[in-house]
Amino acid sequence: MRRPHPYRLMIGTAAAVLLLGACGQPVTTHHRPGTDHAPATAAAGTPHVHGDHQTRDVPATEAPSVRLEVRPDSESGWNLHLVTDRFTFTPDSVGGAALPGTGHAHLYLDGKKIARLYAPWHHLAAEAVPAGTHTLTVRLSADDHTLWSSAGKPVESSATIEGPQRAAKGTATAATPAIPDTPTTQGTAAGQPTRINVRISGRTVTPPPGRVEIEEGAKVRLEVTADRTDTVHVHGFDLERPLTPGIPAIIEFTADRSGLFEVETHESGLVLTQLVVR
Amino acid sequence: MLYFPRMSLLRKLSVTVLLALACLLPAAPALAHEERPVSFPDGTGSVPVYRITGPELLVCKTDRADFDKRVATFPAALKEQNLRLFERCQKDGFRHLQEAVDQVKGPGYNIKILPGLYQEEPSLPEPTGACANLPARLSSFGYQILSFEQQQKCPHNQNLVAILGIKDLQIEGTGAAPRDVIVDAQYKKLNAIRADMTNGIYFRNFTAQRTTFNSLYILASDGFVIDRMLTRWNDEYGFLTFASDHGLYTDCESHGNGDSGIYPGSASDINAGRSHDVPRYSIEIRGCKSYQNMVGYSGTAGNSVWAHDNEFFDNMAGASMDSLFPDHPGLPQNHAKFEKNKIYNNNKNYYNHVRDGTCAKPAGQRGYESGVVCPQIGVAPGTGILTAGGNFNVYRDNWIYGHDRTAFMLLWAPAFLRGEEALDKQADTSHDNFYGGNRLGVAPDGSVRPNATDVIWDGQGSRNCWDTQAPTSPYVVPGCGGKPGELAGAGSHRLVGEPAKLAHSLVCAEYNVTERRLPAGCDWFGSSGLARVEVQVTLGTSVFIGLIVALLWWRRLRTAPAAAASGAGADAAAAPRAGRLGAVSAVLALAGLALDVAGAAYDYTLLPAAALLLLGGGLTGMGLALRREYRFFGGATIVLGALTLLDAVDKSLLLIPWLPLSPAWLRGLFAIVWVLWAVVRLAPRPRTTPVPESTSPAEAPA
């Protein structure tokens, strides 16, 4: 019998030991299998044509979601924040195929498309909004510009916005967006906003929770100061603000719908007050 | 514990060393894929030239409004031309690229793709019937390795568009820029476009994207051009050309790839056996940009590739070539020439996406489009050009700047890693690599953008040389002469890499993206200070050797005067002097050992050399003191000290030429013998012994 070459034996032993896991992997292949190379099988929804646009319907459990938050900017206009779930903004791949959970957003003012958003933050110039109350809507779109939808309804979120008073007042603040302590021509409440101040200490709410009567269309300025991190939520109007200990959170809005609405905190679950709008 | 039956000590040592080396394998970017066995084309072809004549096939979609929007901003003439083509295409064109490819009747066809998004829907359904059950081996990546005939039979098992065996085909996007025509695989296929055995293929002016392997794959073709093409968002490669010759990449762009943007693997090995004087190159790559990948350019067996005037930036490493993997025709890698490239700021670190589980999601959900890259293997972030096993490569006149780790990294890849076991081949890399005349640490606009170091080299190989400005590791490297093949000095001639760097590679090689394993001791993945394996190994060694040094002094040197005074024939007057020498030397040695720990992470400074100087001096002194009592052991200690001093010279003044093993290896191997010997010498002596000189009260066991 032919004796194996000594070096062959040596290297063979080394290889055998390697195979047994001396340093993880055999040397007989290419680079270690890396990430999963399995081709994608998921379909990117079902396209439907609706007049001038297409939607792409996905099951509710996989559908992305969006919530639009509108904050007045400290200098001018508004800062829009799109809080999304199961969604990534992909400006670089726009024009490509629709991939679940990716794309961009379309921004509409009173139903008219005014911008394409490639990131969760967008500054809306004061000039872009005429005087008066308007509806801002964002819809999530795929890279191929079809709109994501679920159960036939586009994935969208809306908020009302007050256009700034311009020449009518002729003051330096004319170009800044309307905030509630600026008189508005809308509704019946032409005076000062209804101010509500609430302090939270531990689980004690001051003043004790009660009801505040508000005329429909009136401005409301809600100021909440808490001693711990939390989130305050105005039901019905779906407004939320983070609470930072010791720093008042201010929510200003127009009570443009009637009903009984609770104001509560998310974490601690405290009811701060109830708004009766009629 | 490993068991090697009936092996000599030398052979056991060899096996241990080989084991350590074997673990080196995946440490460097291992840039490869699995494919059916292919061989090089015969090289009789030529680089195809762009044609405006010949039979023409058009591909377009039918939505006129969409098309109008896409061409709206084109220059007037181009817009006009596209609108004309659109009208024609509606009458006699195709809706999918594959349909047009299938209508090619012979060589010389031109396919024009009009602006639009091509998802190639007919190619997407899962294979059925015979195609679902092809008799073929599974690769380690999970896909089947199909023969050419199987690819022909089932072209869409793995490919969105398959171009098989067609000669002289030209495929061109008619938009204003590559992004106007997009072939999108949506991560549903391994390859967006596969051109297999397609001599003379010419791709121009469109985008291929989103695959689970490669966007554009050219295989076994003699003559190809990739002209103004964009590829992006792939698990592995943007452009992959393999076992091909007469190739040209020009003005291409690639980003968002888990391995590399540009991969000219196993380019025709036309210059094997030649020196630096070569007649031609098999693949030319020019004017390309590759960014936001694991590496910008890579090539296992990237032979005879001439890469010039490219930009590789914002990757983890700029460019890499290696000889690490079997079954690549043309190994070991040789004769790549890099000239006038801008390689800069390759400092990305994408390992956080592995750490947080992003890379464990399905490809489409990882977020490649928003900047996520899933590094397929371990690579040192902050590296300009890495060569892991390669010969006769020339890197000159490049701008290489702004790297957080190093401009050039050069490592050895022993031949058995690629499956070649012949002993005389084991050290056949990395030799004759020329890194001369580059502009290091400075941008083309003249601004200073230093590299942290200019060289990280394991010290192995002959006739490698560098022109440098920043610090290097090792501290001294051979300088270059005026042109490739010329050195400024004698160079170096080592068969094995430095032990500390091997240990480092051993640990870093444990990276595994599948198992989300990021070795804690490897600085590539963020460890620093005491957590680094080099520091830990040095600390362990220093503590161990330090203990022996301290014990030697306590037991054998501290009491030397007494032993000497009572000893037969000893020079009593010299005894106190010897005691002082022993004490001072031991302190020096201990100081050297301590400093060595601090220097372990800074081998591009003089700190390790200073530590070795102290240690070497200390050991030599101790040896002189010990010689009085133990002639041979004392002598051995002096030899160890001398080797340590030689190592200090090697790490500070001159990389000592003609040594097959570095002083660090010689010192380390001799230290094993010395430690065993020291343990014997330290062992308590019998209470009664016929040899009077070996007994003293202080040393008797209690």
Percentage of chain A modeled with pLDDT above 90: 31
Check CB contact under 8 Å for A37 and B140: no
Domains A46-163 and A194-277 share a fold: yes
Q: For residue B487, what pLDDT band results from cuts at 50, 70 and 90?
A: very high
Q: Average pLDDT, stretch B620-624? A: 95
**If residue B488 lies in a helix (H) or strand (E), which one and from where to where?**
none
Q: For residue A31, what pLDDT band results from cuts at 50, 70 and 90?
A: low
- Name the more confident of B126 and B20: B126
- Name the more confident of B368 and A18: B368
Q: For residue B697, what pLDDT band results from cuts at 50, 70 and 90?
A: very low
DSSP conformation class of B219: E
Ramachandran category for residue B107: left, alpha or beta (phi over 0 → left; psi -120 to 50 → alpha): beta
Establish if A118 touches chain B: CB-CB under 8 angstroms: no
Q: Do the domain assignments include residue B429?
A: yes
Q: What is the pLDDT of residue B327?
A: 74
Check CB contact under 8 Å for A29 and B513: no
Q: Average pLDDT, stretch B621-632? A: 92
Q: For residue A267, what pLDDT band results from cuts at 50, 70 and 90?
A: confident
The nearest alpha carbon in chain A to B259 belongs to A34
Q: Do the domain assignments include residue B546?
A: yes
Number of domains comprising chain B: 3
ipTM over 0.95: no
Decide: helix, strand or coil at residue B211: strand
Q: Do the domain assignments include residue B249?
A: yes
**Is the pLDDT score of B12 beyond 50?**
no
- Name the more confident of A43 and B445: B445
Q: What is the pLDDT of residue B678?
A: 95
**If residue B384 lies in a helix (H) or strand (E), which one and from where to where?**
strand B383-388
Pairing of strands A112-117, A102-109: antiparallel
DSSP string, B130-183: GGGG---PBPTTSSB---HHHHHHSTTTTEEEEEES--S-EEEE-SSSGGGEEE
**Is the pLDDT score of A29 beyond 70?**
no
Q: Calculate the average pLDDT of chain A.
A: 77
| CA-based nearest distance A78→chain B, Å | 26
Q: What is the pLDDT of residue B276?
A: 95
- Name the more confident of B576 and B383: B383
**Is the pLDDT score of B372 beyond 60?**
yes
The nearest alpha carbon in chain A to B257 belongs to A35
In whole angstroms, what is the distance from residue B207 CA to residue B97 CA? Answer: 13
Q: Choose the final residue of a domain: B494, B512, B545.
A: B494
Judge if B204 and B94 occupy the same domain.
no
Establish if B417 touches chain A: CB-CB under 8 angstroms: yes
In whole angstroms, what is the distance from residue B104 CA to residue B112 CA? Answer: 12
**Is the pLDDT score of B273 beyond 70?**
yes
Considering the domain A194-277 in this protein, what is its CATH number?
Answer: 2.60.40.420
Would you kindly state where each structural domain of chain A is located, as residue ranges?
A: 46-163, 194-277
Q: For residue B574, what pLDDT band results from cuts at 50, 70 and 90?
A: low
Q: Choose the final residue of a domain: B61, B91, B120.
A: B120
Show residues of chain A in contact with B259, CB under 8 Å. 31, 34
Q: What is the pLDDT of residue B214?
A: 95
Q: What is the pLDDT of residue A172?
A: 36
Judge if B456 and B537 occupy the same domain.
no
Judge if B102 and B40 occupy the same domain.
no
Across chain A, which distance is largest between two alpha carbons, in Å? 109
Q: What is the pLDDT of residue B23?
A: 44
**Is the pLDDT score of A8 beyond 70?**
no
Q: Average pLDDT, stretch A78-88? A: 94
Q: Distance of CA B82 to CAs A37, B77, B112, B333, Å?
A: 37, 9, 10, 45
Best mutation target among A3, A9, A11 (most B Cβ atoms within 10 Å) is A11
Q: What is the pLDDT of residue A27?
A: 29
Q: Average pLDDT, stretch A19-43? A: 55
pLDDT tens digit string along A203-230?
A: 888 888 888 888 888 888 888 888 888 8
Q: What is the pLDDT of residue A6?
A: 39
Q: Do the domain assignments include residue B519?
A: no
**Is the pLDDT score of B155 beyond 70?**
yes
- Name the more confident of B43 and B19: B43
Of B233, B231, B332, the C-alpha closest to B241 is B231
Best mutation target among B179, B316, B365, B368 (most A Cβ atoms within 10 Å) is B365
In whole angstroms, what is the distance from residue B273 CA to residue B392 CA? Answer: 10
Check CB contact under 8 Å for A99 and B364: yes
Judge if B607 and B628 occupy the same domain.
yes
- Name the more confident of A271 and B470: B470
pLDDT tens digit string along B84-105?
A: 999 999 999 999 999 999 999 9
Q: Do the domain assignments include residue B162?
A: no
| CA-based nearest distance B125→chain A, Å | 9
In whole angstroms, what is the distance from residue B319 CA to residue B297 CA? Answer: 4
Q: What is the pLDDT of residue A233?
A: 86
Q: Do the domain assignments include residue B607?
A: yes
pLDDT tens digit string along B57-69?
A: 999 999 999 999 9
Q: Average pLDDT, stretch B676-702? A: 62
Of B528, B641, B510, B530, the C-alpha closest to B586 is B641
Question: Residue B622 is part of which domain span?
Answer: 532-685+695-699
Q: For residue B693, what pLDDT band results from cuts at 50, 70 and 90?
A: very low
Q: Calculate the average pLDDT of chain B.
A: 90
Q: Average pLDDT, stretch A49-70? A: 88
Q: Do the domain assignments include residue B7?
A: no
**Is the pLDDT score of A12 beyond 60?**
no
pLDDT tens digit string along B545-556?
A: 999 999 999 988
Show residues of chain A in contact with B142, CB under 8 Å. 33, 36-38
For chain B, positions 637-696, list CB contacts with chain A under 8 A. none
Q: For residue B477, what pLDDT band results from cuts at 50, 70 and 90?
A: very high
Q: Average pLDDT, stretch B507-535? A: 91
Show residues of chain A in contact with B234, CB under 8 Å. none
Q: For residue B572, what pLDDT band results from cuts at 50, 70 and 90?
A: low
Show residues of chain A in contact with B232, CB under 8 Å. 92
Check CB contact under 8 Å for A11 and B236: no
**Is the pLDDT score of B563 beyond 80?**
no
Percentage of chain A modeled with pLDDT above 70: 78
For chain A, positions 96-115, list CB contacts with chain B under 8 A. 96-97, 99-102
Q: Choose the final residue of a domain: B99, B120, B141.
A: B120
Q: For residue B571, what pLDDT band results from cuts at 50, 70 and 90?
A: low
Q: What is the pLDDT of residue A174?
A: 35
**Is the pLDDT score of B238 beyond 50?**
yes
Judge if B489 and B539 occupy the same domain.
no
Decide: helix, strand or coil at residue B411: strand
Q: For residue B591, what pLDDT band results from cuts at 50, 70 and 90?
A: very high
CB-defined contacts A:B, below 8 A: 180
Check CB contact under 8 Å for B514 and A33: yes
pLDDT tens digit string along B219-230?
A: 999 999 999 999
**Is the pLDDT score of A22 beyond 70?**
no
Show residues of chain B in contact with A119, CB under 8 Å. none
Q: What is the pLDDT of residue B687?
A: 61
Q: Do the domain assignments include residue B159?
A: no
Neighbour count for residue A52 (Cβ, 10 Å): 6
Judge if B64 and B105 occupy the same domain.
yes
**Is the pLDDT score of B29 beyond 60?**
no
Judge if B348 and B464 occupy the same domain.
yes
- State in words which class domain A46-163 has: mainly beta
pLDDT tens digit string along B635-655?
A: 999 999 999 999 999 999 999
Cβ-contact B77, B21 below 8 angstroms: no
Show residues of chain A in contact with B15, CB under 8 Å. 10, 13-14
Judge if B408 and B456 occupy the same domain.
yes
pLDDT tens digit string along B389-427?
A: 999 999 999 999 999 999 999 999 888 878 888 888 989
Q: What is the pLDDT of residue A219?
A: 86
Q: What is the pLDDT of residue B181?
A: 98
Show residues of chain A in contact with B210, CB under 8 Å. 93, 96-97, 99
